[in-house]
Structure 1
């Protein structure tokens, strides 16, 4: 009280109050202690339509060249890539000459022509050359956010890289959080890759949640028998059992339940942890406490200690990797993922000694 009371008279805005409360809570030095919201002014946001593409301006003509088109899954609204939809004629390398009839070479920025166009039909004039002669017009529906497309493209690129580097023998999956999105990604990629000889589980950037026990249960399953049906091939029983080795990628942005997952992974001896020490915040919350102005305050109220009853675990430190690898920002920006490269190297080496194959069929029984 003595330390922070003098600041009260200087609080003139909700952000000031949030700052003071945040500093007070910070004295606890504990994770998940949040404060925010409340009676704060806000401005109307102007949405800008995005094309799901990286553009670069031609220095001579001032038209915009499509440098790269982001992949999507257009049957999924959250992964719709406008320039890849049926009926849209656009390719990487084409030039955008006009938007709704307005030449873009006369604009300060092409996005001024895409204001308030999210989900609305927009006509683009394109050409393979930066000139009007021979150009064509195509209609697109811009999107509000490209983040999901970049994430999808990153995951697909990693899948392709792992598959090509291991001749299709190793699977890869990324789990972005320990909630609905993470479960969806796990289910989408884990089960189709069960018959791979090994698996890389990537939880870098995992934002936490509460489903890490469920994922660990799936990874721990062991075959206890082999099943076979008429006109089929042998399969492990339970069928959802992964036979080969597994490694886990993690980093300093693997947080909360993203801390607990690698801890469980290590305790169950599922495989090596590769990357950087995790975030280190496992004192958890159940929900916010409401403040009178509509703000929220989160009160951390549960944590974990080790099975031996000797120490509180993870909080304030994180989970240490077995193999430390830090991605160089410059190399990562240019597409070189040293952490993933090391994971591929380790899993290939482990397959030489830990890969498991299904045993052959025994002789059929004689019934006569």
Structure 2
């Protein structure tokens, strides 16, 4: 009997044992040792198999059995000859991507499989800052900032205790003259997660050394996004004098639920709220957010003390103000579903530009033999009348506002400014009303 054992977070073992009431006490002789196996693989045969499997997955799983009217057998005949010319796995990805592109369905796509990894990884690292060339080295023009309530998320130069003033110049990195570096990342290569000694010259002329821990390029990119998001939140808070809140969702996954819960409830008493899903990568939490926005206060609790305490809704943490959503051409997948739902439920206007148009969802179960994937978009979104939405069309904003590239590079934000202007006007037209207690009841005398 062949038995596969399983344990949380482990691959488990394969055992070959005699059938019986229980497993033998000594399993060493029964365990299949994979490390002793050598398997001969014919890459070209695997590529043919994966191409055929990928073709079948689209045929059998795409939400429209007619595949948007594409002659799918003809597509196999068209692209199969190219598989014979493939020389490495990346080329197979390209062939399969061109084939699936014939369906014109955004979530039907190709993920790379078992690709050979290069040993020449440069190991780029960063300091979480914008650095510009200076005669003495590299000047710290901007240190990326994030939510001060999350000090653990601070970048290398914003770490507690460093207190590095803007305008300071990095003159050396681990003893290497910074003026000789064509880019500061050259001095940080391979140093992600390791302590690095920086020599600094501050604007007042003082020289000192600090020890920092650079981050990899993925974390560096996240720090830039955090700086962008927190900058928008501060701008909204200042422009509205604290009356309008701001929440940005970079995607629609577990971390984004946490972001939403932390930021939305903290601003639930504002008169207005901007939910920004620009550049949103998608996920599957749209219903969670829409449900919170759909809650309505219908009664209030009136405490006796302290004197003059304001009533509060019995539907706890209900947002009673006005809400707008910001979306753009890089709002994708579940970010679009949320935006469309926000419109359909009449929760407020959408401001920005038309979204990407990825409205057919999927399960991500279309695996190939080498752990690559031929993703098939399986579940279309329809209205009560059966009409399909979002896919190929995107979500059309109620108020179209574009952010021109040059103006954006100069620090202007037409879309955010439009959202602020709309909310300010709406708050003035229909201010949020806080109920005042009426006459207290008295016993009715017979």
- C-alpha displacement at 1:110, in angstroms? 2.9
In structure 2, the residue matched to 1:150 is 224
- Which of residues 255, 259, 263 in structure 1 aligns to 2:336? 259
In structure 2, the residue matched to 1:356 is 432
The secondary structure found in structure 2 opposite 1:290 is: coil
Structure 1: which 5+ residue stretches go unaligned?
none
Relative to structure 1, the CA distance from residue 48 to residue 7 in structure 2 (aligned partners, 3 Å threshold; closer, same or farther) is closer
- Cα-Cα RMSD: 2.1
- C-alpha displacement at 1:183, in angstroms? 1.1
Cα distance between partner residues in 1 of 2:399 and 2:179: 51
TM-score (norm 2): 0.77
In structure 2, the residue matched to 1:106 is 180
- C-alpha displacement at 1:115, in angstroms? 1.7
Relative to structure 1, the CA distance from residue 31 to residue 365 in structure 2 (aligned partners, 3 Å threshold; closer, same or farther) is same
Cα distance between partner residues in 1 of 2:367 and 2:438: 65
The secondary structure found in structure 1 opposite 2:356 is: coil
TM-score (norm 1): 0.92
Cα distance between partner residues in 2 of 1:191 and 1:306: 31
- C-alpha displacement at 1:77, in angstroms? 7.8
Question: 1:302 and 2:376 equivalent?
Answer: no
Contact 1:249 / 1:343 at 8 angstroms: preserved in 2? yes
Matches within 5 A, 1:64-75: 64-72=138-146
Contact 1:223 / 1:236 at 8 angstroms: preserved in 2? yes
Cα distance between partner residues in 2 of 1:130 and 1:63: 16
Question: 1:88 and 2:132 equivalent?
Answer: no
Contact 1:95 / 1:130 at 8 angstroms: preserved in 2? no
- Which of residues 325, 330, 352 in structure 2 aligns to 1:248? 325
Cα distance between partner residues in 1 of 2:198 and 2:144: 17
Relative to structure 1, the CA distance from residue 322 to residue 107 in structure 2 (aligned partners, 3 Å threshold; closer, same or farther) is closer
Once the two structures are overlaid, the 10-residue window that deviates more, 36-45 or 92-101, is 36-45
Cα distance between partner residues in 2 of 1:77 and 1:89: 14
- C-alpha displacement at 1:89, in angstroms? 4.2
Cα distance between partner residues in 1 of 2:380 and 2:196: 52
Contact 1:63 / 1:130 at 8 angstroms: preserved in 2? no
In structure 2, the residue matched to 1:313 is 389
The secondary structure found in structure 1 opposite 2:125 is: coil
Contact 1:78 / 1:148 at 8 angstroms: preserved in 2? no
In structure 2, the residue matched to 1:220 is 294
In structure 2, the residue matched to 1:51 is 127
The secondary structure found in structure 1 opposite 2:78 is: coil
Question: 1:329 and 2:401 equivalent?
Answer: no
In structure 2, the residue matched to 1:292 is 369
Question: 1:167 and 2:241 equivalent?
Answer: yes
Relative to structure 1, the CA distance from residue 74 to residue 114 in structure 2 (aligned partners, 3 Å threshold; closer, same or farther) is farther
Relative to structure 1, the CA distance from residue 65 to residue 239 in structure 2 (aligned partners, 3 Å threshold; closer, same or farther) is same
Equivalences, count: 363
Once the two structures are overlaid, the 10-residue window that deviates more, 9-18 or 72-81, is 72-81
Once the two structures are overlaid, the 10-residue window that deviates more, 81-90 or 215-224, is 81-90
Matches within 5 A, 1:11-90: 11-44=86-119, 45-58=121-134, 61-72=135-146, 76=150, 79-90=153-164
